[in-house]
Each structure stands twice: as C-alpha cells, then as structure tokens.
Amino acid sequence: MKIIDKMNAAMAQGRPFFSFEFFPPRTDEGVQNLFERQDRMASYGPTFCDITWGAGGSTQDLTLDIAKKMQNMVCVETMMHLTCTNMPQSDLEAAMQRLKEDGIQNILALRGDPPKGQEEFKAVEGGFSCALDLVKYIRREFGDHFGVCVAGYPEAHPDNIVDDPEDMKKNYWKELEYLHEKCKAGAELIITQLFYDVEVFLKFVKDCRQIGITVPIIPGMMPIMTYGGFKRMTTFCKTKVPKEVSDALESVKDNEEAVKQYGIQLGTDMCKRILDSGVPGLHMYTLNLERSAVAILENLGLINKSKMSRDLPWRAGAGRRRSESVRPIFWSNRPKSYLNRTNDWDRFPEGRWANASSPAYGALSDHQTMRRHAGEKRQEKVKAAWGTTLSSPSDVSDVFVKYASGEIDVLPWNEMESLHSETGTIKNEIVALNKADYLTINSQPRVNGTPSSDPSVGWGGDHGYVYQKAYVEFFASPEAFKSLQGRLDKRPSITYMAVNQAGDVHANITPQDVNAVTWGVFPAKEVIQPTVVDPQSFNVWKDEAFQLWTSEWGSLYEEGSKSRKVIDKVASTYFLVSVVDNDYINGNLYQAFGI
Amino acid sequence: MKIIDKMNAAMAQGRPFFSFEFFPPRTDEGVQNLFERQDRMASYGPTFCDITWGAGGSTQDLTLDIAKKMQNMVCVETMMHLTCTNMPQSDLEAAMQRLKEDGIQNILALRGDPPKGQEEFKAVEGGFSCALDLVKYIRREFGDHFGVCVAGYPEAHPDNIVDDPEDMKKNYWKELEYLHEKCKAGAELIITQLFYDVEVFLKFVKDCRQIGITVPIIPGMMPIMTYGGFKRMTTFCKTKVPKEVSDALESVKDNEEAVKQYGIQLGTDMCKRILDSGVPGLHMYTLNLERSAVAILENLGLINKSKMSRDLPWRAGAGRRRSESVRPIFWSNRPKSYLNRTNDWDRFPEGRWANASSPAYGALSDHQTMRRHAGEKRQEKVKAAWGTTLSSPSDVSDVFVKYASGEIDVLPWNEMESLHSETGTIKNEIVALNKADYLTINSQPRVNGTPSSDPSVGWGGDHGYVYQKAYVEFFASPEAFKSLQGRLDKRPSITYMAVNQAGDVHANITPQDVNAVTWGVFPAKEVIQPTVVDPQSFNVWKDEAFQLWTSEWGSLYEEGSKSRKVIDKVASTYFLVSVVDNDYINGNLYQAFGI
C-alpha cells in the first residue's frame, strides 16, 4: 500500500501519524536485534518504517533483504531508500524489480552522498546524478506502481550552504524550485532533513506552499541522544542549532542520561509546536534505537503503551496479506515462521479458515535464515537457560517450569524473547502443568464476552466483545498422555488431538473439524474469528515443533553426549498434544489434568 | 440427495427414520393447505416426503409442480411417484427431465392402475406395461442420477390375489421374483403396500431376503382414520384384516373419535413390533392428514415436539441448497418468498454472508403463484382481521397491535399462519411498540450465550451456545421516524437503516456493513452465523415489503375507496426501519423507543 494513501486516511480522520527510520546494521547479530526492535516498535502503530540504502555490494543486498522482511515478516508498511550513488540504471531497475516482487510499494528517491573518497557527486556510468532523474526514471519504468517520496532540506542541501547571505538565499529558492520539479515528476510526499529550529521548518513549509508544492511535508525529527553524536551530525549536515539548545546541551554534556532526557524534552516540545501548527505527522530518525523516539511519541500522546489497540489478536500483515484475517493458533509464538511458510499463498484466508482450501505450507528452510541463536553471546545465554548438561527428561521439565515461571525468557518454540507469552491469568495453572510434566509451548485462557477495549485480551476496537476458548498445547510422555486421554474422553466439552514424531495420531475430532478458538462480535459486522485450531495445519506444525527439539536445543550439545541423547529421546517418544475446552462459559480446562 | 444415502446414514447411527406420503389435492385452496401442512410436518424431520402421481394432463403438471415446491420451498427431500399409466416414453422422459431440473433426485417407479374405465392394464402406445420396464428405462436414460424406489406387495398385488391357495402361493413367489428383477434393474429401495397384519409383513421381508433381495424394505403404514375409509381401502387393496382388528373396529365404528384413537393405538403397536424386529424405518401414508401419522410417531418417540432440534434457526434447504448456511433476516417471516427469489443462485452463501458477492435476487412475480389469500373463505377471514373499512392510519396501527397481541394471526408480511412470530419474551415490548405507532413486521430478542439445546431459541445441537442481537423492523411515519432517529443516534450500540418507497435512505452504517445478528459457538467448529442484517439485501427486501401493503392489503378494498387510500398513503409515506442493538450482553433496544 502506498504511504500517501495511509497518510490521507489518517488526515481525513484528523489523526496525527508517525513513522520510524532505521539503517542496515553491520553485523548479523545487529540485524537480528533490529528485527526484534522493529517488531516491538511496529506494534505502536507507525504509518510506515523506512530503511536507508546501503549502497554497494553486500550492503545493498542486505538493505533489500531487510526491507523484504520488514514488509513481510515484521509486517509493517515499508519504504526503502534508493540512491543514485554507484547505481547504473540496470542496478536500479533490478532493485526496484525486487521491491515489486517482495510487495514493497514505497521508495524514498535520493541522489545520495558521493562515493567514499570523492568530494563531489558524479553520476556513475549509466546512472543518474540527481534525485529528480531517479524520480522520473521510477515513474517512466514502473508507472504508478510505487509511492515515491523525496527529501526536503529546510536549510538547503549541505552542498549548497554558503556563507554569503545573498548567495545562500538564491541557493535556497533554487533548491525549492528543484524540489517542486521532483514533485511535478511524481513525488507524492516530502520528508525533511533533520533540524533543531522549528521556525526554520515552518518557514520552509510556508515557502514550499508559496511556490506551489502541495504534497505533505513531514518533518524528519532526530532526538538528541548523545552529545558527541549530536555534534557530529549537526556539523556534517550543517544544521543550525539555536543558542538555547546548544547552551542547554553544554550544561549537561558530561551526563549521558541528562543529555538523553534533554533530547526527549526538546523533541517533545519541537514536535508539539509542529503538530500544533497543523503539520499532520512526524518522521522519527531512530538511529536504530527505541527509547527517545518512543518517549517523545508517548509524551505527545501518539503512543499509549497501556492502551494499545490491536486490530486482531495477532499483528495483521501488510501488502498482499492485508486481507488475511484467520490463522491457526500453533504458530502464535512463531509468527515469523508462519509468515515465511505461507508467503507463497495466492490468497489468504478471510473470515473463515475453511475458505483456505488445503493450505500448502512452505518448507522450513528459509526460516532458518532468521535463527535466533546467531552470535556466541546468545548461544551462551541460551545454554545457561536450557542447561549446560542434561541427564534426564526431568531436567528438561525443569527448563519448561522455569520458562512458565518467568525465570528464563527463551524456549525453542518461542521465536522472539519479546513474545514471551503472557500467560497472565493462567500463569499458576501453566506452571502447575509443567511441574506435572506436561511441557507447555502454547496456551490461552478462556474469555467470555470481555469488552473489546480490554487492554489485556481486547482487540478490534471499541464497542465489541471478545471470546476465547481455553487452549493448551504441550509435549507429554506416552505414559502421561495415555493416562490423560482417559480423563479427557470423559469431558464432552473437551476436544483434543495428539501426535508423536512417528505420526501416530490420537484425537476425538476429524481432520475437517476446524475450531475457532478466538472470536469477536462487533457492531454491524459479521463475527470475526481470527484464530483457529485446524487439524490439517497441526499436521504441518507438528513437524516444525518436533524439529525444534533437535535443531534449536539438541544441537547445543556435542553429538553423542548424554545431553543430546536426552533431547533426542524426548523428541522421538513424546506426544505433541493440542487441547481445547469448548465450554468457554463454565469450563475449567485444567481440572482434566488433575491440577 | 438420494433417499437411500440418507437412510444408510441413519442406519449407520442406529437411528430409526420415517417419511410421509401425500397426494395432489383437487383444489387450489387444498394445495395451499397442503403446503402449510407439509411445512409443519417437514419440521419433524422426515427422511423424505413423497407425492403420488396424478396421471394425465393438468394433474400431471400439478404433481410435478408440487414436487418442485416440496423440494425447493418446503425444503424437504422429495420423491415423486411415476407410473406407466397413459405415459408414452416421451412423456416419461419429459417428466424426469423436469425432476432433474428441479433438483429432485428420487422416483418411486410404479406400473400404476389401469386408466379409468379399463379393467386390465394395457401399455399405452410407446409406453411401458410394467414397473420393471420403467426402472430399466430410468437407469438407461438417466444412469445413476435418480434414486429409484419400487413397491412391494406383502400380500401380493391385488391383481394376483386369487382364492385357490396353491395358485396364490405360486403368484406370491412369482411376484417376489419379479420384485427381485426390479432390484437387479436398479431399484435401491422397496416401500410396501399397506397391511394390517404385521406377521404378513415380516414374512414378506424374510421371503425377500431368502431369494436374495438385499435393499431396505420399508413398511407402508396407513393409520386407520375413519371406518368408511378403512373399509374402502382394504376392499380395494384386498388387504387381509386380522380378526381382532375388525372386531375392535366394529365395536367403535359409530364413534369417529374412538376410531381415530384406535387407529393411532393400533398403528403404534404395529410400528413398535416392526421396529423391534429390526426394520430400520417407517413410511406413513398420511392421506394428506397430519394427526394420526404424527401421533403414532410421537408415541414411538420418533417425534418429540417439545424437544425439536433445529440445525439452524431457519429450516435448511434440500438439494442444491444443502450447503446454504446464511440468510438475511428480512425474509424470516417469508421464507418461501426468499427461497423463490434466490432459487437461481449458482452458489449459496456458506459460513459468511460476505462470501455471497452481490446476490442477484429474482423478481417477485413467480412467488405470486403461492399467494395465501386464494379462496373466498380466506379472503373473508383476512378482511375480518384487517378491517372491512379503514378510515385512518390509526386503524392500520390497531391491526398491528392485534397481530402483536395474538388476537389475529395473519399479516401481509407473514407468509404463513403457522409462522406466526413467537415474539416470546419480548411480546410486551412489541405490543408497546405497535401501540406507539411503530408497525413491527419482524423482531428477535437479544440472547446472550444460551445453551444450544434450549427448546425456544436453541439450534445446532448440544454442547454449544447461541446468541442473538436484539432486532426490530417496522414501518413508521416520517415524523415518528425523524424523532426516533435523534434518539437512536445517541446510542453507540445501535445501528439502523431506514428507507421509504421513494428510496430516501437514512442509516448510520454503510452498504458494506453486514451484521451477523444470530450466531452459535459449538465444539470443534468455526462460529456459525446463520442470520445477517445486510444493507444490500435490505434494499431488495424493501421493494417487497412496500409492495405487500398494496398487493396483499390495499387490494382487498375497492379502487378509490377510503380504505384503499389509507393503505396507499401509509405505503407511500412511511419509512421501513431496521434496527439492531449490537450490545447483546447489556443492551435494551426498546429504551431508545421510549417504551
């Protein structure tokens, strides 16, 4: 979806919007951390996130890869920067073709900095020397497909900042005309260079309007986070710093925390003035950091962490996935794996899972590129959590108990630490289940008509009611499962299915019995049922669930070691069991487990 | 669907089944009454109903038309009788082609009686002389399309009943062989001629099995309803009557009610013995009457009126409509009109109304063939209910108040008297609404998680919970609507739409807002939402709703009369208003009306 369309919708509702900018990290671990961070920040509801262009070779590929994952796995509307630096037309076209394939519809078109070692920007052979030509090229080659954004320089481009006031003025207006040209060529949106003088920005907007620029002009805000960083950035960009800002900063420059606090305060004040002047939204240069940008938006009331509203219980997708409204519960702690394995679907289920005729899940392999335990540090952390040595299945149970109790925050079936399942009201029951050797990997409490605005279990907006059937999914030894099965069979409200690695199935439902376990009822809508327990998906999930034992956990230990054998034994003998209590009004799922 | 498949399913579950046989009435009013009766009897859950063949000319057409309506409007699995009497192959083929087009898949193949005035059966030119040839013809021309049933004669066909015991025995076994031939030719099911000696039937079944007949043999039961009728029938069919039966009947023959009671008792005893012997089901010759057949099935526990379970809130369709699972609420008191107007749909909505892309409703005209007020008597009754003269809209309101109070049971927007809406828990509120000049034509109370086994609002089987949003639909004068609208707009849980005959619309929802107003949650299922308020359907319904004022009510009065003008005035100025209270947990829809 084009950013401008989302902005227009927000403007029509008088709702200020915001966005976050990131850059490609230099290490694998950095990339992994970035996704975890984006995952959290995406949940605050930015209109879009953008990723800057790392020109040249592998960085270029990395940028394209990050953009793809932002759009399709972090599920946030994504804009990629694209510069002319070292980019012949063929490379530009290839990059845009990839964006198109990956469902990314937004480009920030820039000239870019001169290549390292060069002072002045020169077009590469077969390339462009200015953003205007790039904009024209995008429109000529891809028509209306992309939303195109361009940069605006409230204090003029650093290259054009000169000492002589008359020349400066001339340069400034010339640049404005050039910006106008970019808009005429097809740019739909302007994001500005950073600034610390609000008056400069407001004058820039006024001047743009005066010469006939009509597209939205969104201020690029860079919170001051460190004194050194601020100094380097303002020097590089030749940014004007008001005296009160530099005075205030100088007085706290040796106190890192005070600098940050001041940055947040200043950013809040600046943004407030800007929004009050009628500007519809803000663009935050995050430098891949979360705290300052989020704090400013919280101060402005644009983010309310305690009242975050979700459209659906899980984060809805961007791009092609926008229509998706139902998912199986099994991947709820591994959404990226689910997104990956369903990325090739032509059509996503809407309204009812039953509409998705025999979903063909993709293989697991691609997902492995997003593995969590990259990096030695993480490996150590994980091993500390799951045990440096294991001598019996009861050591394994202990790890699950620790996870359920919140003592550790990683488990193979939980994709990201930030997703640590908030068992909330059923924490005690879940701990008890694990102590009784039912090794839980997924659960939800029953919910009976709670207002949809509820901060904990609500979703879908106001004036509705939401429901959940109690659910628990766990591994259990064959003996434990057998004795449990007898108890489950006695309860008419309970449906279950169990399978071991060899594929032996025990269930009291048929493969066609799709169970909606989360649903919501809203004014003037059909019932929305976003989460289902679907036997056919379970059959796919079980392979992933069993594989994680060895790929994530067993592989921590030497081949042939006792620990490795313990994991292999559990993986090869235990049943994976999925249990639903269909009586969401009066049921008590845990009674059946004797806890 | 083929009857044999339904029977096999019932047998697999060990569930005894039953069916009802009807004949084509001689008058239009009789036909109308038959449909009302079938409508009620279909709700008892027969495996199928059949209609006998009225050979020749218009009766023949009537039979085909009744069969079509049974299948597609009464929504019961239908079997049509077809005889060789006066039917050349071309006529037989034409009749079967019509059955195929109308979605009827079951034929009872008979030779039939000789044409009137003839003693012996002779094949008509180009026709058949026996049921066997007809069965072969059906299979040859239509392959597997039809389920074919044939008649079995436990006491031999009347033509073959002779005095000499040796000859009789020969005839009997010869007939059995002939029956075997019919099965070999493709008959999948045998229904027997009536009998009053259970031993005769049981011996017949045993003899059939002995010679290798394997298809189900279902006893045709004709309850004794009148002494005269019984005498005529048993004489005509040469039926053996056990002495205790004739003795018992003779002793009560002058007491009509005692005869009926005896018939019910005898029928119950006979059926019980038959079912106990392992026969899987019963076929009831109703003679178009309800009481005796239903009483026997009630005595046997096969019908439990106080615990009738519905699959869906409305009667689910047969044939092509079997998959249908969602309907708009507007036609809930006019299901036949809805069935008629949607009969041409290629695909019926399943699970969600949103799946039915812009339904194209058929015209009203065809429905007019099923008008209720045929017959002078009915016309008189209706006029008495709705007023022989009307002098102002308040006279019209009085009629609605009477209907809501239960003083009268016909209203133009209610298709059949047997559908008199059971406002049940909200009767007082509905009466009050009508007294306040909101002329209600449809309503349902809110229901918040009532067990699905509830006899009044339950449906869909056990172990589920059902829900309804409070709904009311009514006509209101422009002034009344305007003042109401202000009050409705103040309540966030209320959504409404209103339209007058000229098409002026007032609504607080968009045409895309489909509202599920009845839904149910069941074990191991997705949420089922069988009734919706759909703005696009409302737009179709409104034409029908407004037309009924004049076609059903205004037309009772002379053109130009005061009464006619009152109706025309109301129809041309009032708004049709549809109101949903989306707060089915805590809402009070009627408060908004100030009652």
pLDDT digits (tens, 9 = 90+) for A342-372: 877 878 888 888 776 556 888 775 444 345 5
The DSSP bridge pattern shows strands B465-468 and B220-221 to be unpaired
**Best interface-test mutation with A: which of B526, B537, B579 has the largest number of A CBs within 10 A?**
B526
**What is the 3-state secondary structure of A424-492?**
HHHHHHHHHHHHCCCEEEEEECCEEEEECCCCCCCCCCCCCEEEECEEEEEEECHHHHHHHHHHHHCCC
Pull the structure tokens for residue B458.
Answer: 């339950």
Q: Test B515 with A526 for CB contact under 8 angstroms.
A: yes
pLDDT at A366: 44
Q: pLDDT tens, A242-277?
A: 999 999 999 999 999 999 999 999 999 999 999 999
Interface check for B465 against chain A (CB to CB < 8 A): the answer is yes
Interface check for A584 against chain B (CB to CB < 8 A): the answer is yes
Rounded Cα gap, residues B443 and B423, in angstroms: 7
Pull the structure tokens for residue A452.
Answer: 């949809």
Average pLDDT over residues A327-335: 90
Q: Which of B21, B155, B188, B473 is catalytic?
A: B21
Residue B370's closest CA among B68, B126, B127, B594? B68
The DSSP bridge pattern shows strands A217-218 and A189-192 to be parallel
Whether A497 shows a pLDDT value over 90: the answer reads yes
ipTM value > 0.90: no
Cross-chain CB nearest to B525 (options A350, A515, A585)? A515
CATH of segment(s) B3-304: 3.20.20.220
Rounded Cα gap, residues A55 and A53, in angstroms: 6
What distance in Å separates residue B540's CA from the closest CA in chain A? 19
Handedness of CA A58, A64, A70, A73 (dihedral sign): negative
Rounded to the nearest integer, the mean pLDDT of chain A is: 91
pLDDT tier for residue A594 given thresholds of 50, 70 and 90: confident
Range(s) of chain B covered by CATH 3.20.20.220: 3-304
The answer to whether B376 is a known catalytic residue is no
Q: pLDDT tens, A386-421?
A: 998 999 999 999 999 999 998 998 899 988 776 555
Q: Is A386 helix (H, G, I), strand (E, B) or coil?
A: helix
Interface check for A211 against chain B (CB to CB < 8 A): the answer is no
Question: Worst-scoring range by mean pLDDT, A311-315, A419-423, A552-556?
Answer: A419-423
Pull the structure tokens for residue A339.
Answer: 């997104």
Backbone angles phi, psi at A455, to 5 degrees: -65, -25
Rounded Cα gap, residues B87 and B107, in angstroms: 15
Interface check for B580 against chain A (CB to CB < 8 A): the answer is yes
Chain B residues in contact with A532 by the CB 8 A cut-off are 526
Q: pLDDT tens, A16-30?
A: 999 999 999 988 878
pLDDT at A369: 38
Interface check for B515 against chain A (CB to CB < 8 A): the answer is yes
The DSSP bridge pattern shows strands B189-192 and B147-152 to be parallel
Residue A578's closest CA among A386, A417, A459, A413? A413
Rounded Cα gap, residues B336 and B279, in angstroms: 35
Average pLDDT over residues A553-560: 92
**What is the 3-state secondary structure of B191-230?**
EECCCCCHHHHHHHHHHHHHCCCCCCEECEECCCCCHHHH
Cross-chain CB nearest to A351 (options B354, B449, B493)? B354
What distance in Å separates residue B464's CA from the closest CA in chain A? 8
Cα→Cα distances A448→A327, A443, B38, B449, B459, Å: 20, 16, 41, 9, 20
How long is chain B? 595
- Which portions of chain B are predicted below pLDDT 70? 55-57, 356-359, 365-375, 418-423
Q: pLDDT tens, B491-522?
A: 999 999 999 999 999 999 999 999 999 999 99
Specify whether the CB–CB gap between B554 and B572 falls below 8 A.
no
Rounded Cα gap, residues A75 and B523, in angstroms: 32
**CA nearest B355 in A: which residue?**
A351
Rounded Cα gap, residues B122 and B129, in angstroms: 6
Q: Which of A21, A188, A324, A544 is catalytic?
A: A21
Q: Test B516 with A527 for CB contact under 8 angstroms.
A: yes
Interface check for B403 against chain A (CB to CB < 8 A): the answer is no
pLDDT at B422: 52
Pull the structure tokens for residue A401.
Answer: 């108990």
Cross-chain CB nearest to A493 (options B463, B467, B527)? B463
Interface check for B492 against chain A (CB to CB < 8 A): the answer is yes
What's the helix, strand, coil split of chain B in %, to 5? 45, 15, 40
Q: pLDDT tens, A184-240?
A: 999 999 999 999 999 999 999 999 999 999 999 999 999 999 999 999 999 988 999
pLDDT at A534: 95
Rg (CA), chain B: 27
pLDDT at B368: 40
Rounded Cα gap, residues B84 and A63, in angstroms: 81
Non-local (6+) Cβ contacts of B519 within 8 A are A521, A527, B466, B467, B527, B528, B529, B530
What distance in Å separates residue A347's CA from the closest CA in chain B? 14
Between these two residues, A62 and B32, which has the higher pLDDT value? A62
Cross-chain CB nearest to B524 (options A495, A522, A584)? A495
Pull the structure tokens for residue B134.
Answer: 């007809």
Q: Test B582 with A492 for CB contact under 8 angstroms.
A: no
Backbone angles phi, psi at B521, to 5 degrees: -120, 125
Handedness of CA A106, A110, A116, A122 (dihedral sign): positive
Rounded Cα gap, residues B83 and B93, in angstroms: 12
Chain A residues in contact with B529 by the CB 8 A cut-off are 526-527
**Best interface-test mutation with B: which of A514, A517, A526, A589 has the largest number of B CBs within 10 A?**
A526
A-B contacts at Cβ under 8 angstroms: 96
